[in-house]
Chains A and B, each alone.
Chain A
């Protein structure tokens, strides 16, 4: 049975076991219909030309994990940011782990979507936002149909969440192959502020296929700072669908660090629904072997006087492949827009490849749009210069790659995270950089 058929046939049983109210059931019924019609995207789909889900959709994935709280904190400690205090929402094989988590209802809600979907007190927020921000494509719809668990973050007017929130999804590999569909809802009201770090991590080399959806709503003057750490094991694949609704004078930044995993696809969609929005999309991709990372971004400028800044850097070794597909749409009413986009890549091996494609659809006349894409090798003159100062080939290359990625890190606002990422980069490049950051 194909994965699609398996999903469709298990849908009814899944629904019967949930105590959602009718409006949620209706949303889910509509979503499964969309998925049934559209199915998994194929390479014939313009947006999926360079990323094939073939090997995944043929896989025999279990759709539910075992219900065991099977891991100890000390075994997974390294996957958390530990040197600062944080809230934690942790899932093991799709199930909430209260033992590893630290949630709150003190002024803000940092808790579980399963609770929000079922308890009456969250109903107003769920009715207003759940499934309202998303683009109803087949993968997001598939997630909507099965969505039950994930992070629920609600930050009321004027509140700043006092510490960053870590959302971590572990896969234990108890199942030989497991499909996970976490769903996060982040609502940040007027003048409120939050920082979130999200990570998907499998703990052994069994296959995991995660189809994740995150909805983020940033009200007037809200600030959201979201970091995605994608450094998973060789048999883990991730499709991340993130949909962001921005209202007047809000600022939302999403940093995506893609350092590992078999196949990673980021569908990152920004909808600017107010004036004076700032949208920041940054990414560093460093992959090797036969890994594949695809960044598919959309910034839809629907209102005037807004900005968007996209800066994606990639370093590809061995037979690794990358895709950058950055779409910027400027509606005719959206005058005085500044939209920047840059995608720079280094191919370390001649077998590595990157497909980079900007797509600009501009219907307003008073806009400033710039986009640039480079694909290159490391600068040999710089390597020689460094050697004359005693810095050898390997360290020199690493330093150049670090430097190349470095300016993307400059906008990381959590210092401990920044130094963690720098160390990850140094580790990946196999060197001691000779200095702390």
Chain B
């Protein structure tokens, strides 16, 4: 009987405590800046082009092979009359969010700080009706940072 009363004492004490539950779709917990949702490409606002040079480093390092990168000559390069120092630039980029395991390796291997993990709730709430819709192409990957919607956190 003593043990039972002790158990009830615990439940009673917890009953008096402040609840910790959040009603999820209505209230969102603030996310830490390091939160890792899915990878995004970053936009160079100064030069108005992506940081990504299409160097394939991330594509090769990805454990689940969910990225596809194509590179092209940068039409905005100095030699072409533009003002960019990037000789090569990304042409096409796909990331299959359905396969990505959010391991952050692509962010670590990128030499140009061109890719970062989405650390907003939008990055987590990516449900779609068709899996094909989870394959993100270059404009989709760039959109959020271009619009200034994320503050990326890149290690080091």
Tell me whether A and B are bound partners: no
B-side residues, CB < 8 A to A, are none
A-side residues, CB < 8 A to B, are none
